[in-house]
Structure 1
Amino acid sequence: MSATPAAPVPPDHDPSDGHDVRGSDLVDWDFAAAAASRLVRPGPRAARGEIEALVAELRSAGERAVDPVATTARLSTPPGTPPALVVDRPGWIRANAASMGAMLAPVLDDVVARKRDADRARAEEAGRALTPVGETAQRFGSTVTGTEVAGILSWISTKVLGQYDLAPQGTPRLMFVAPNILGVERDLGVDPSDFRLWVALHEETHRVQFTAVPWLRRHVIDSARSIGAEMMPDPDDMSHRLGEVLAQLPGVLRGETDITQVLATPAQRERLAEITAVMSLLEGHADVVMDEVGPQVVPTVAQIRRKFDQRRKGAGNVDKMLRRLLGMDAKMRQYRDGAAFVRGVIDEVGVDGFNQVWTAPETLPRPTEIADPRAWVARVHG
Structure 2
Amino acid sequence: MWMPMTDVNVTDPKAESTSATIGVGDRVDWELAAATGRRIARPGPRVTDYTMNQARAELADAAVRAEGPVREVTGLADGMRVPTARILDRGEWIDAAAQSMRSMLGTSEPTADEQPSGKGFDLSGLFGTVSGKVGGVQAGGLLAFLSGAILGQYDPFTPDPETGDEGVLMLVTPNIIAVERALKVVPSDFRLWVCLHEVTHRVQFSANPWLRQYMIDNVTTLTSESGESSAEMVARLTSALRSDKPREKGIIGAMQLLQTPEQYDAFSRLMMLGTLLEGHADHVMDAVGPAQVPTVASIRSAFDDRRTGPRNPVQRIIRALIGMDAKMAQYIRGKAFVDEVVATVGMEPFNAIWTNESTMPLPNEIDEPAKWIKRVL
Q: Report deviation, 1:82.
A: 3.0
TM-superposition CA deviations, 1:60-85 (whole Å, max 9, x none):
11011011101111112653353111
Q: Report deviation, 1:206.
A: 0.2
Given residue 201 of structure 1, which amino acid in structure 2 is its aligned partner? L
Instruction: Name which of structure 1's ranges 173-182 and 295-304 shifts more when overlaid on structure 2.
Output: 295-304
Is 2:190 aligned against 1:190? no
Separation in structure 2 between the aligned mates of residue 368 and residue 58 of structure 1, nearest angstrom: 38
Given residue 47 of structure 2, which amino acid in structure 1 is its aligned partner? A
Who is 2:152 aligned against? 162
From 286, 290, 314, give the equivalent of 2:285.
Answer: 290
Given residue 183 of structure 1, which amino acid in structure 2 is its aligned partner? A
Who is 1:123 aligned against? none
Who is 1:141 aligned against? 131
Who is 1:119 aligned against? none
Is 2:207 aligned against 1:206? no
Separation in structure 2 between the aligned mates of residue 221 and residue 78 of structure 1, nearest angstrom: 27
Is 1:260–1:327's contact at 8 Å kept on the other side of the alignment?
no
Is 1:103–1:168's contact at 8 Å kept on the other side of the alignment?
no
TM norm structure 2: 0.80
TM-superposition CA deviations, 1:306-347 (whole Å, max 9, x none):
111111112322211111000111111111110011011111
Separation in structure 2 between the aligned mates of residue 132 and residue 372 of structure 1, nearest angstrom: 57
TM-superposition CA deviations, 1:153-207 (whole Å, max 9, x none):
1001110000001226773100000011000001111111111000000000000
Is 2:338 aligned against 1:342? yes
Q: Report deviation, 1:279.
A: 1.1
Is 1:84–1:173's contact at 8 Å kept on the other side of the alignment?
yes
Separation in structure 2 between the aligned mates of residue 323 and residue 30 of structure 1, nearest angstrom: 25
Separation in structure 2 between the aligned mates of residue 138 and residue 216 of structure 1, nearest angstrom: 33
Separation in structure 2 between the aligned mates of residue 356 and residue 224 of structure 1, nearest angstrom: 24
TM norm structure 1: 0.79
Is 2:64–2:82's contact at 8 Å kept on the other side of the alignment?
no
Q: Report deviation, 1:35.
A: 1.1
Separation in structure 2 between the aligned mates of residue 90 and residue 200 of structure 1, nearest angstrom: 20
Who is 2:90 aligned against? 89
Shift in alpha-carbon separation, 1:137–1:274, aligned structure 2, 3 A: closer
Q: CA RMSD in A?
A: 2.7
After TM superposition, which residue ranges in structure 1, 4 or more long, deviate above 6 angstroms? 238-241
Q: Answer with 1 or 2: which has the greater Rg.
A: 1
Shift in alpha-carbon separation, 1:267–1:234, aligned structure 2, 3 A: closer
TM-superposition CA deviations, 1:252-276 (whole Å, max 9, x none):
xxx8454534532455333322221
Separation in structure 2 between the aligned mates of residue 162 and residue 204 of structure 1, nearest angstrom: 10
Q: Trace 1:1-382 onto structure 2 (pairs within 5 A).
A: 24-76=25-77, 79-105=80-106, 132-167=122-157, 171-229=166-224, 232-234=225-227, 237=230, 256-258=250-252, 259-314=254-309, 315-381=311-377
Separation in structure 1 between the aligned mates of residue 228 and residue 144 of structure 2, nearest angstrom: 29
Percent identity between the two aligned chains: 43
Instruction: Name which of structure 1's ranges 261-270 and 182-191 shifts more when overlaid on structure 2.
Output: 261-270
Separation in structure 2 between the aligned mates of residue 41 and residue 87 of structure 1, nearest angstrom: 15
Q: Unaligned 5+ residue runs, structure 2?
A: 1-22, 242-248
Instruction: Name which of structure 1's ranges 149-158 and 271-280 shifts more when overlaid on structure 2.
Output: 271-280
Separation in structure 1 between the aligned mates of residue 49 and residue 204 of structure 2, nearest angstrom: 35
Is 1:43–1:180's contact at 8 Å kept on the other side of the alignment?
yes
Separation in structure 1 between the aligned mates of residue 222 and residue 206 of structure 2, nearest angstrom: 24
Is 2:156–2:168's contact at 8 Å kept on the other side of the alignment?
yes
Is 1:25–1:139's contact at 8 Å kept on the other side of the alignment?
no
Separation in structure 2 between the aligned mates of residue 23 and residue 326 of structure 1, nearest angstrom: 18
Given residue 154 of structure 2, which amino acid in structure 1 is its aligned partner? Y
TM-superposition CA deviations, 1:28-57 (whole Å, max 9, x none):
101110111111022100011000100000
Given residue 356 of structure 1, which amino acid in structure 2 is its aligned partner? A
Separation in structure 2 between the aligned mates of residue 238 and residue 197 of structure 1, nearest angstrom: 54
Separation in structure 2 between the aligned mates of residue 279 and residue 271 of structure 1, nearest angstrom: 12
